[in-house]
Structure 1
Amino acid sequence: MKWKLLYIALAALALAIGAASPGLARQSSDGDILQKAINKPSATWGVYGAGQKNAPIKDKTVQGGGATKVEVQGAGANPWDVSASQPLTGNISKGDVLLVAFWAKAEAVDGGPASADIPAVRIQQSAAPYDAAMQGRIKVGGEWKMYTVPGRALIDIPAGAGAVGLHLASAKQTVLLGALFVLNFGPDYDLRKLTGG
């Protein structure tokens, strides 16, 4: 059952970016996309920092049926004062084309709109100095959606020494984080296929 959900989620990922890269959508049907994964896809996020509450939740409306709910009590002095992360298992070489993709949705806070700001979606070293191989920013809306952040690695990160980190302390906000997928397409892949440019 777990593998079936993984394949469904990967197929959804391929469809989400398939308009920009029809070849990726074709790869998802025969399992080739799994060879590009450099993490163990999961909706279990490690969350740290003062001024937050987090808990695993079940939600049948998101791929995989679960997520991690993070309630940030207020903006921190730094956006990384509250962060969510997951480990990477694969190797990254400088110049590799990478894609971070994860399901997310925001909940309304204090009567405001259902939105959340994640100023940094990073593939980074999992220990000090936490240098980033790539980084992007996203705004999360009130419906489940797969968000993608593509980029080209700026540094090498050995297998097992990397992580995806999300900086969440930019505002008082509640965000639900679903399954995470991190793909490494290697140095020769055309990044424009993932950015639509």
Structure 2
Amino acid sequence: MTLAIRKAGVGLAALALALFPSAPTLAQDADTAAQLAEIDASLPGTLINDPTSLEWRTAGARLRTAAIVDPNIPGGGAATQYEVRRAGANPWDMQAYAPLTADIASGTQVTYGFWARTTESRAADGNGRVTVRVQRDADPWPGFGDTTFVIGREWRWYEGTATANISIPRREAFLVFQMGAEQQTVEIGQTFVVAGADRILGNNARPTPTLPPQLEGRGTLISNPFVSDYSYLANAGTYAVREEGTIWLGSAVQFTSPAVAPQAWDLQAAVPLTEAIAEGDQLEIAVAARTVSAATEDGRARIGVRVQQNVPPFGGFGDNTFSVGPNWQLVRVRTTATAAMAGGSAVVALHLGGAQQVVDIGPVYVVKLTAGQ
């Protein structure tokens, strides 16, 4: 699809949108509702923002913005540059608000994706830090889905998903980008927000996943191994998604459990399964993980794992707990399905709150084993 991004004072008609290359050209002055309807038809779920606009409100005295127009910017040829001149005490001290266009009911799955890169950063690793959340613009500014992305130096597509635990009226609903954690300059481009889908497809922004050598020939991959496709719960502790060049697929998420949680699943990742499971299927779950620190007897982090439905009462099977050392390793757990689950209805849940620990999780591969394996 070729799509104009509208931004005050900048002529951006007919800029390329790499996500959906097959749709016809839309002139800048075309009816916005018709444009959005066409985009919506190309997306999973329901579009609930206007991806043709980068006219976002900002907050923060030390935040400077500038419009960037360059046909080499993926997904529209335009972006906004956000310069944080001095880090704040909190990430939300400098932020941008992308307005949403629909009410959000509690229980709705909201997925967003955006193009971004870092051009300057005072962080030790030279990368930017952006926390993204869906937020109600009313005191005390409740929200959900808080995810911290580590933004690298090259343009890349970043994606997150979460289930609303509050309801937000359209006039107060925003996707908020919090940038005050670092002195940095981050550029954010075309952004999509959808309701009722767990990912945004067709973005041409990530490699096709291949199995690690340990799993080749063992069966069929039935999970989405990209950490950007996982759902997260952080009732106890925190998590942060970042680039990680030393592990398959180049991304990881770090979980910090400051104390033993009331329930191990109070800090968790849910890895979506893409195919149906029949009772009796043999599954192998392979988790790339490493311990950063752990207050356990052997200094190794504890990770719980189970296969379960993604809706209450979260029935499942295969409960197990394993430990990992300080170096990246691929821990493999086998289980037999004791119940059938429809495609798209199940996840592999990783429970990270069972100890005081900091643990990195990379891709999770779930393989439906071939007979005889």
TM-score, normalization by structure 2: 0.43
TM alignment of 1:114-125, pairs within 5 A: 114-118=126-130, 120-125=131-136
Equivalent residues in 2 for 1:113-152, closer than 5 Å? 114-118=126-130, 120-152=131-163
Q: 1:130 to 1:29 in 2, by over 3 A?
A: closer
One-letter code aligned to 2:159:
T
> For 1:136-159, what per-residue CA distance to the aligned partner results, in whole angstroms no more than 9, with x for missing partners?
111100111111111111111122
1:67 to 74, 79, 100: 79
Structure 1: unaligned runs, 5 residues or longer:
13-27
Contact 1:133 1:156 in 2 (8 A): no
Give the aligned residue type for 2:71. K
Q: Deviations over 1:116-137 (max 9, x none)?
A: 011x201010222210032211
Could you tell me whether the CA contact under 8 Å between 1:44 and 1:68 is conserved in 2?
no
| Corresponding residue for residue 43 of structure 1 | 54
Equivalents in 1 of 2:40, 2:102: separation in Å?
21
Tell me which moved more, 47-56 or 168-177: 47-56
* Structure 2 spans left out of the alignment, 5+ residues: 5-12, 22-37, 200-222, 231-270, 273-373
TM-score by length of 1: 0.77
Distance 2:146 2:71 in 1: 30
Structure 2 counterpart of 1:11:
20
Tell me, in whole angstroms, the C-alpha distance in 1 between the residues paired with 2:152 and 2:141: 28
Would the aligned equivalents of 1:103 and 1:144 in 2 still touch at CA under 8 Å?
Answer: yes
AA of the residue aligned to 2:83: E
Give me the whole-angstrom Cα distance separating, in 2, the residues matched to 1:5 and 1:125: 33
Answer whether contact 1:44 1:179 (CA < 8 A) is retained. no
Task: Check the 8 A contact 2:16/2:71 in 1, yes or no.
Answer: no
In the aligned structure 2, how far is the partner of 1:137 from the partner of 1:2?
A: 29
2:175 aligned with 1:164? yes
Q: Could you tell me which amino acid in structure 2 is paired with residue 36 of structure 1? A: T
Question: Which has a greater percent of helix?
Answer: 1
Q: 2:89 is matched with which residue? A: 77
Distance change in 2, residues 1:125/1:184 (3 Å): same
Provide the rounded CA distance (Å) in 1 between the counterparts of 2:139 and 2:40: 39
